Chains A and B, each alone.
Chain A
Amino acid sequence: MRRVGGSHRGLDMWLMQRASAVYMALFLPFFLVCALAAGPLDYAAWHGLFASPAMKVATFLFVAAMLAHAWIGLREIFIDYLHCARCTLLRLALYFAFAVLYLGCLVWTVDILWNVR
């Protein structure tokens, strides 16, 4: 049951931070090229960019990677700066609050993207 207490999870998060970074670093130039190829970005071109299921999925994965990356990054910052005796509870509360916020964002992203028809 050691993993429940958080032991050994640092390596998982370290790896997740790299994996999400690599996906984002690949997606961003790809997306930029697609956007530039779509011509002058008026509403129709921008809207059309997200029309295909492939682009929806790729963008959704980007947002998912970004949210995971942001959560782990913020956790890192909280660990670095909040380490007083009573800060453990505060840190846990912050992890929880951002997990709820970001999971909400993830569901919202599905709604945003799949409403593009």
Chain B
Amino acid sequence: MHRPRPFFLDLFAIRLPIGGVVSILHRASGAFLALLIPLLLYGLMLSLRSPEDFARLRAFVDSGPVWLISLGLLWALLHHLFAGLRHLGFDIGWGEARQRARLTAKLALAAALLLVGLVALLDLLNSGATP
């Protein structure tokens, strides 16, 4: 007997499960970081070449839009790191049960966001204290 498969395409109700969100962000942040490697090495070169270039780089990063992009970059790194640690756990069989996998997905997502918020706050306070 042929039965039609269940059909559900309410785009406002369909949500990726939390593990899926963390997973696609793991991929997106990884691709973002991979493409930025040459730029990051250029930054490392400038920061080590001379005090003048170090100061120029710092002024560049401290300017509004670049500061926000830098925070985005830090988020990408932290999210990729935490999601990656979660995967290393799966590799040794830790945290594969659904409840725990959901918990670690939430933790990875939250930890990266919280740390970026903390760094942004500290940076703001720091630049406010020593203008």
Q: With A21-B84, A25-B84 as given contacts, are A74 and B34 in contact (CB-CB < 8 Å)?
A: yes
Q: Are A18 and B37 in contact (CB under 8 A)?
A: no
Find chain B residues with CB under 8 A from A112 CB: 41, 44-45, 48
A67 near B84 (CB under 8 angstroms)? no
Please name all residues of chain A whose beta carbon is closer than 8 Å to the beta carbon of B54 when the two chains form the complex. 43, 46-47
Query: In the complex, how many angstroms separate the beta carbon of B97 from the nearest chain A beta carbon?
Result: 21
Within 8 Å of chain B (Cβ to Cβ): is A90?
A: no
User: Across the interface, do A73 and B84 meet the contact criterion of CB distance under 8 Å?
Assistant: no
Out of A18, A43, A74, which one reaches B55, CB within 8 Å? Answer: A43
How many Å lie between the Cα of A97 and that of B44 in the bound state?
23
Which residues of B from 55 to 101 have beta carbons under 8 Å from A? 55, 81, 84-85, 88, 91
Asked if B19 is at the interface of the complex by the 8 Å CB criterion, the answer is no
A113 to B44, CA, bound (A): 9
Cβ-defined contact, B37 with A25, below 8 A: no
A9 to B: closest C-beta gap in Å: 19
Chain A interface size, under 10 / 10 to 19 / 20 to 34 / 35 or more: 20 to 34
Are B85 and A47 touching (Cβ within 8 A)? no
Q: In the complex, how many angstroms separate the beta carbon of A20 from the nearest chain B beta carbon?
A: 10
Closest B residue, CB atoms, query A29: B81
Q: Smallest Cβ distance from B106 to chain A, in angstroms?
A: 20
Rounded to whole Å, the gap between the CB of A82 and the closest CB of chain B is 13
Given contacts A18-B91, A43-B55, contact A50 B37 (CB under 8 A): no
For B81, what are the chain A residues with a Cβ–Cβ distance below 8 Å?
A: 24-25, 28
CB distance from A2 to the nearest CB of B (A): 26
Known: A21-B84, A43-B51, A47-B48. A108 touches B41 (CB 8 A): yes
Instruction: Report whether B47 and A46 are in contact in the complex, using a CB–CB cutoff of 8 Å.
Output: yes
Q: Which residues of B contact A101 (CB under 8 A)?
A: 38
Closest chain-B Cβ to A25's Cβ sits at a distance in Å of 6
Answer yes or no: B31 CB below 8 A from chain A CBs: yes
* A-B contact list, 7 entries, CB within 8 Å: A18-B91, A46-B47, A70-B30, A74-B34, A109-B41, A112-B44, A116-B48
